[in-house]
Amino acid sequence: MMDFNLTEERRMLQDTLRRFLSDTYDHERRNKVIASGAAYDTDTFQSLAELGVLGALFPEAQGGFGGTGFDLATVFEELGRAGTIEPVLTTLLAGGVVSDLAGDSQADLISSIIDGGTVVALAHSEPQSRYDLESVATVASSDGADVILSGTKAHVINGAQAQMLVITAREHGEQTDVEGISAFCVPIDAKGVTVVDHINVDGTSAATVVLDDVRVLSQARLGAAGAAYDVIELATARATLAVCAEALGAMESAKALTIDYLKERKQFGIAIGKFQALQHRMADMLIEVEQARSAVVNLAGHIDAPRNERERHVSAAKNLIGRVGAIVAEECIQMHGGIGMTNEYALSHFARRITMIDHQFGDVDHHLERFIALSVQ
């Protein structure tokens, strides 16, 4: 029977997380962290780990206590609602690749990832790859018992904050073959690894990672040679669900700020929320955000489905979230007037994050094309 309610356990996780974040985290605190030059607040990240947020991202078999689509959706919606910049997404993405590919052989690393002790980053995207997961030009060449990695990785989420990088590289095949891609665990301070950190428009951090003949033992390879693609795609699907839910949370916050503002702000002697020109757009926004919620639910419910069905839902959700996100960000700013454009006001953060999510793991057009392609198969 269909049931659209969260289970008791998830409801508790949601409540705890929402309360913790609304008590301890806000726009001002985030801005202070960013202004200090730090990529994120280490205390907040540790607290999130202690609350079980990271554990909720992984199944029991991998040392966590969750890992289903609805666990991810619950966690990330709350993170989005608060507008956090802590490295939870990278933990899901890179941690997922490590645990799915390596399993027990990396048990210590995985447990350290789940307790927040080690931050891992997935160095997969490249300057030319745009949103195509299979585009890998970085080369892995065997040299006796060693493997030598060379190439450039771009947009590596929290690349400079990680202690461990999961680097993908091609062992054989053409640049866009799905076959031939492997993943390697490489410490951030390995010889030949250069990490250039940068802050993103939305306050999150990413890095460019240059690999200049980085020599690793072949044991650093996670799983079988050349066979990492399916796991990369699955981890990306889960990360896409995460950012869709995060966008949903951010949209809820942007919408709530706007509703409050329409009630508070007076022009021409009355609250601007009394103008029907704004009321109807607010009503449309509510409808769109409910559609966004349903898209997240659909994807969460199909994240463990067979590959094609899952990926079709990935593209459906990401396309819809991208469209609705643009509407919400633009309309919320517009209905605020000048105030909506100021950095000091929390809406600016939500608008930037919602918009930048369209640039992560594929935008509206990328997923529309992909949805069409997956639908005719």
Partner 1 sequence: MDLNYSPEEQAFRVEVRQWLSDTLPRDLSEKVRLGKRLTKEDSVLWHQLLNARGWLAPNWPKSHGGAEWNAVQRQIFEEEACLAHAPRVVPFGLSMLAPVLMAFGSEEQCQRFLPRILSGEDWWCQGYSEPGAGSDLAAVKTRAVRDGDSYVVNGQKTWTTLGQYANWIFCLVRTDPDVKKQEGISFLLIDMNTPGVTVRPIVLIDGGAEVNEVFFDNVRVPAENLVGDENKGWTYAKYLLTHERTNIAGVGFSTAALETLKDVAGKVQAGGKPLAQNPLFAARVAQVEIDLMAMATTNLRVVSAAAKGQAPGAESSMLKVKGTVIRQELTALLRRAVGPDAMAFQPDYLEGGDNVDMMGPEHAASAAPSYFNMRKLSIFGGSNEVQRTIITKAILGL
The residue ranges that bind ligand FAD (CB under 6 A) are 265, 267-268, 272, 275-278, 334-335, 337-338, 341
Q: Are the C-beta atoms of residues 374 and 311 closer than 8 Å to each other? A: yes
Is 344 among the residues that bind partner 1 (CB under 8 A)? yes
User: Under rule CB under 8 A, which residues in 51-110 are in contact with partner 1?
Assistant: none
**What is the nearest approach in angstroms of partner 1 to the Cβ of residue 316?**
16
Q: Which does 276 bind (CB under 5 to 8 A by kind): ligand FAD, partner 1, none?
A: ligand FAD
Gap between the terminal Cα atoms of the chain: 30
CB count in 10 Å sphere of residue 269: 6
- Find the binder of partner 1 among 33, 340, 354, 371 (CB under 8 A): 340
186 is an interface residue for partner 1 by CB under 8 A: no
Sole binder of partner 1 in the list 161, 348, 354, 374 (CB under 8 A)? 348
CA distance 16 to 68: 19
Helix axes 346-357, 27-35, angle to 10 degrees: 70
Size of site (CB under 8 A) for partner 1: 49
Which positions from 224 through 283 interact with partner 1, judged by CB under 8 A? 267-269, 272, 275, 277-278
Q: Nearer to ligand FAD by C-beta: 207 or 272? A: 272
Task: Give the bridge partners for 271, in sequence order.
Answer: 266
Piece of 14-22, 51-59, 95-103, 360-368 that binds partner 1 (CB under 8 A): 360-368
CA distances from 58 to 85, 155, 205 (A): 20, 24, 23
CB of 306: closest distance to partner 1 in angstroms? 24
> What residue 355 binds from ligand FAD, partner 1, none (CB within 5 to 8 A, per partner kind)?
partner 1
* Of residues 180, 182, 191, the one with CA closest to residue 216: 191
Q: How far apart are the C-alpha atoms of 219 and 292, rounded to whole Å?
A: 43
Closest to partner 1 by CB, 309 or 365: 365
Reduce the DSSP state of residue 15 to 3 states and report it.
helix
- Asked if 371 contacts 321 with a C-beta cutoff of 8 angstroms, the reply is no
Per CB under 8 A, which region of 92-100, 141-149, 294-302, 342-350 contacts partner 1?
Answer: 342-350
Distance, CA of 171 to CA of 179 (rounded, Å): 9
Contacts for 184 with CB less than 8 Å, ≥ 6 apart? 140, 147, 149, 166, 167, 168, 169, 216, 220, 221, 222
Q: Which is nearer to ligand FAD, 41 or 288 (CB)?
A: 288
Contacts to partner 1 by CB under 8 A: 125, 127-128, 130-132, 154-155, 176, 196, 198-202, 206, 208, 267-269, 272, 275, 277-278, 326, 330, 333-334, 337-338, 340-344, 348, 351-352, 355-356, 358-360, 363-366, 368-369
